[in-house]
Structure 1
């Protein structure tokens, strides 16, 4: 049992891919602000910083692209939940959403490949 989750559980696998995505983004110059921000409106996998911009990162994993792949799995409803959770984060930190530069990135992990989509939505 790693991280409090049964070995091989979906949650444990999700955390492994989030760590992979985090390391990938750190290697490209972003810095970590927070992992797994949760509020009643949803969860944000990673919150990173790129210069003066807060980057809200959704990490998705799919073994294959048979059913549209990882990027296609982020529905408009999921995007809306992420926007609401990001607004909650900004408010909880006393940041003004109209003054704080933000963007939403997607890290799509498919098999062993990582595809980083900045400004995904």
Structure 2
């Protein structure tokens, strides 16, 4: 059985844990963190990072098991639409219209040893 700390019984705490793991993973790949958990009326951006001059908006998902296609299929069309709107809101609010932008997806799966799948340009 998968061990979970008491504080993970709250899905938000679990989500933040895996967002930090994803951020650490991406930092090791050369990206620089800018912000986490940006919220607006359209949705939330898990991670905002930069790779050189490119602004990278990262959606992070974790699945313990590979049921229903696993974590690689967890980024639904509806979630992608919300992500587009939220990115557009962030870009407008921070005057990034003339910057290079990219949306990435970090899928984390596994019970004891997390396995990372980094998919660039998901939108």
- RMSD value, Cα: 1.0
Structure 2: 5+ residue stretches without partners: 1-5
Runs of 4 or more above 4 Å deviation: none
User: Whole-Å Cα distance in 1 between the matches of residues 70 and 45 of structure 2?
Assistant: 20
User: Whole-Å Cα distance in 2 between the matches of residues 114 and 95 of structure 1?
Assistant: 29
Deviations 1:83-105 (A, max 9, x none): 11001001111221xx2111110
How far 1:120 sits from its partner (Å)?
A: 2.1
How far 1:20 sits from its partner (Å)?
A: 0.1
In the alignment of these two chains, the number of paired residues is 114
- List aligned pairs for 1:1-121, cutoff 5 A: 7-8=7-8, 9-96=10-97, 99-111=98-110, 112-121=114-123
TM-score, normalized by length of structure 1?
0.90
TM-score, normalized by length of structure 2?
0.89
Greater per-residue helix proportion: 2
Aligned partner of residue 94 in structure 1, secondary structure: coil
